[in-house]
Structure 1
Amino acid sequence: MPQLSDPHRSRVVLVGVGSYTQLHPLPTVANNLTGISEILADDRFWGLPPARYQLVADPTTPQEVGRAVRAAAAGTGVGGLLLVYFAGHGVVDDRTGELHLAVGHTDRAAVYATAVPYEWIRRAVLDSPASRRIVILDCCYAGRAISGMRDDLSAVADEVEIDRTCVLVATSPNRAALAPPDEKYTAFTGTLVTVLRRGVPGGPDPLDVATVYDAVLHAHRRQARPLPELRARNGGERVPLVRNRARTAHRAPPAPPPDPPGQLSYTGCVVVAGTSVTDDELRGATVAVLAHSTGAGALGVRLDRRTPRAARDVVTNPLPPPLDTAPVFDGGPVRDVVILLAAARPDAARLAGFQPVTGGLGTVTVPLDRATGSALAAACLFVGYLGWRPGQLEAELAAGDLVVSGERLDAWFWLQHGR
């Protein structure tokens, strides 16, 4: 069963614009921010610490929004969720047809210069190291954020898996969103808050984005309101969002996972996916655990996804032979990180930056300096990795989602080099 993201490694940005100089006001947007933030901060739903979310109320310039989103994206850690929410007017650039998010001083005659291009949000979200990412837009024409999502991700995904990303929008590309004056919230966010607070009977616990979307969609269909839309990549629609109060209200909290018997660290172990695993990133996987401690969590890389890429394509500085022919693997969903697993030459002195793993293998900081590179006998490169928060790896092993295999990492390593 997927678990909620680690709130201490997550970041949330809630942007709401209700006051405008040239567009009509949206007074209920302020309630949107309060309603969403209260749910996310409540331990019954998630328990996001105050330091991990930011409310951006009534920004007047695009730069205010851009800075907040970029800071949150950069500050989200492995095992964390990056959530960006916007409520306000959506405006369209007449020349390009692209969606912009209106701020207080947005000028309809100069949308391109006075509103936030959705492209700013998209880029910041995709550049984040977050393991999970969600964008929620409650504005007119929000569907353009989906229809306008270029498929340049597909080319990258052929070699390096894209992190789980999901975009949930209030309405279609050509529809206006509703903000009924006699209701506490805007229409979409009001339904969203209701679903999150009440939960979904019969739904999973925790609630994933797809379940929440279906509940909001059915409610709006019954009320003849604009229908929300959803787009996700790589299982992004299954990202857990909050606990399902319809199922947890009368249930005792689960007991913590037991400590692994007789073993304090899984560093150097090779684990494989169990038959009951539901996580798409783990299904069918063979993973090397490169670092693990009960207090810090774990880091691993997939061994079963070799790519046709050359080492020179993923390491900026030249690698000395034979490292320039090192095989390259798709290591996991946390992208834009290169991990070098290497074996030192028998006659090499102690290497700076070499972190032992098992069987004479260790990880080495990339890029390499000349002395370290020449002291290595062989290496494998991993683009991306998997991360587990404290206790998560142990819980997945206890549940049978992962199983410690009898394979030795050093034997696998030398097999990749024909030995």
Structure 2
Amino acid sequence: MDTVDRKGLQLTETSLTNRSPSLLFESSGARALLVGSGTHRADALISSVPTAVPTVTRLGTCLTEHTGLTKDRLRLLIDPKDPSQLITAVNHMSSEASTVMLFCYVGHGLIGPDRRLYLATQATTDLSKGAPEYQALPFSAIQHALTQSNAELVVVMLDCCFAGRANPLGSPPRAELLDTPWPGAYLLRF
């Protein structure tokens, strides 16, 4: 049985069943930054996270094989050496995104002396000594960079301890798994 779609195009039963839905990541403006921070210095107070790198690697494979995201729009950042390298990657990818920006971090989340969430890097040893932002990246810096993106949709996935602290500045912690930290953004905490 034939039918006509909204634009007046003739559609056959075969064409309807063979059409795949448009995928969000097929857009040329889609970007994904997946960060696996699992290796830390011997003098660090935190242990290694051996699952961090395989997790983001597999997620990257799933995104390129099943969502329409091409490899040139995906960046895997494995064991960032310091907060500067991490925020540079976030700034770069979010500035290129125009439709969707996915940021995923797997590793240690830490609470700094200021009671805010920090994401560990290889430079992380002990946030109570020295300036913590030189060891780990404050989540507020990531949030700021992502709010500057032109992407229509921003998705943040945090697989780390204390992910519940990833709230907009000044807002109380929320218990929901899926949260909206700012319009057009979604925060998934695991």
| 1:102 partnered with 2:120 | yes
Aligned pairs for 1:197-346 within 5 A: none
Q: State the AA in 1 paired with 2:185.
A: T
Please tell me whether the aligned partners of residues 70 and 124 of structure 1 are also in contact (alpha carbons under 8 angstroms). Answer: yes
Matches for 1:166-177 after TM superposition, within 5 Å: 166-170=186-190
AA in 2 matched with 1:31: P
- Can you list the C-alpha shifts for 1:55-90, whole angstroms capped at 9, x where unaligned? 10011110111000001110012xx21000001111
CA contact (8 A) 2:31 2:93 kept: yes
**8 Å CA contact 1:87, 1:138 repeated in 2:** yes
SS in 1 for 2:154: strand
**Is 1:4 matched with 2:16?**
no
Structural mapping, 1:381-392, within 5 Å: none
The letter for the 2-side match of 1:114 is Q
Deviation by residue 1:119-162 (Cα, 9 ceiling, x = unmatched) = 1110111110001110001111011003x5445xxxxxxxxxx6
User: Residue 64 of structure 2 corresponds to which residue in structure 1?
Assistant: 41
**Distance (whole Å) between structure 1 residues aligned to residue 36 and residue 154 of structure 2:** 19
Larger-Rg structure:
1
User: Unmatched 5+ residue regions in structure 2?
Assistant: 1-20, 172-181
Report the residue type matching 1:102 in the other structure: A
Query: In structure 1, how many angstroms separate the alpha carbons of the residues matched to 2:155 and 2:84?
Result: 21
Q: Tell me what 2:104 maps to.
A: 85
Preserved CA contact (<8 Å) 2:118 2:137 = yes
Query: Is residue 43 of structure 2 the alignment partner of residue 20 of structure 1?
Result: no
2:166 partner SS: helix
Equivalent in the alignment of 2:136 = 115
Separation in 2, partners of 1:30, 1:64? 17
- Give 2:54's aligned residue: 31
CA contact (8 A) 1:61 1:104 kept: yes
Percent identical? 29
1:129 aligns with 2:150: yes
Question: How many angstroms apart in 2 are the aligned matches of 1:128 and 1:102?
Answer: 23
Whole-Å separation in 1 of the counterparts to 2:97 and 2:28: 9
8 Å CA contact retained: 2:23, 2:68:
no
The aligned residue for residue 67 of structure 1 is 88
**Residues 102 and 116 in structure 1, CA contact (< 8 A), matched pair in contact too:** yes
Give the superposition deviation at 1:33. 1.2
Secondary structure in structure 2 of the residue aligned to 1:48: coil
Per the TM alignment, residue 30 of structure 1 is displaced from its structure 2 partner at its CA by 1.2
User: Alpha-carbon deviations, 1:7-55, whole Å to 9, x = none?
Assistant: 321010001111101121111111111111011001xx21211110101
Partners in 2 of 1:57 and 1:7 — Cα distance?
25
Residue identity opposite 1:83 in structure 2: L
Amino acid at match of 2:73: R
Q: Counterpart of 1:27 in structure 2: which amino acid?
A: P
The RMSD of aligned alpha carbons is 1.7
Q: TM-score, normalised by structure 2?
A: 0.75
Point out where structure 1 has 5 or more consecutive residues left out of the alignment: 152-161, 171-419
Shift of 1:107: 2.3
Take 1:166 and 1:149, find their aligned partners in 2: how far apart are those partners? 15
In 2, Cα distance between equivalents of 1:112 and 1:74: 22
Q: Is the partner of 2:147 in helix, strand or coil?
A: helix
TM-score (norm 1): 0.35
Secondary structure at the aligned position of 1:25 is classed as coil
Paired with 1:84 and 1:19, the residues of 2 have a C-alpha distance of 19
Tell me by how many angstroms 1:3 deviates: 5.4
Which amino acid in 1 is paired with 2:48? P
Number of equivalent positions? 153
Show the counterpart of 1:295: none
Measure, in 1, the Cα distance between the counterparts of 2:80 and 2:64: 22
Q: For residues 130 and 144 of structure 1, what CA distance do their matches in structure 2 show?
A: 24
| Other-structure match for 1:331 | none
**Higher normalized contact order (CA 8 Å, seq sep 6+, divided by chain length):** 2
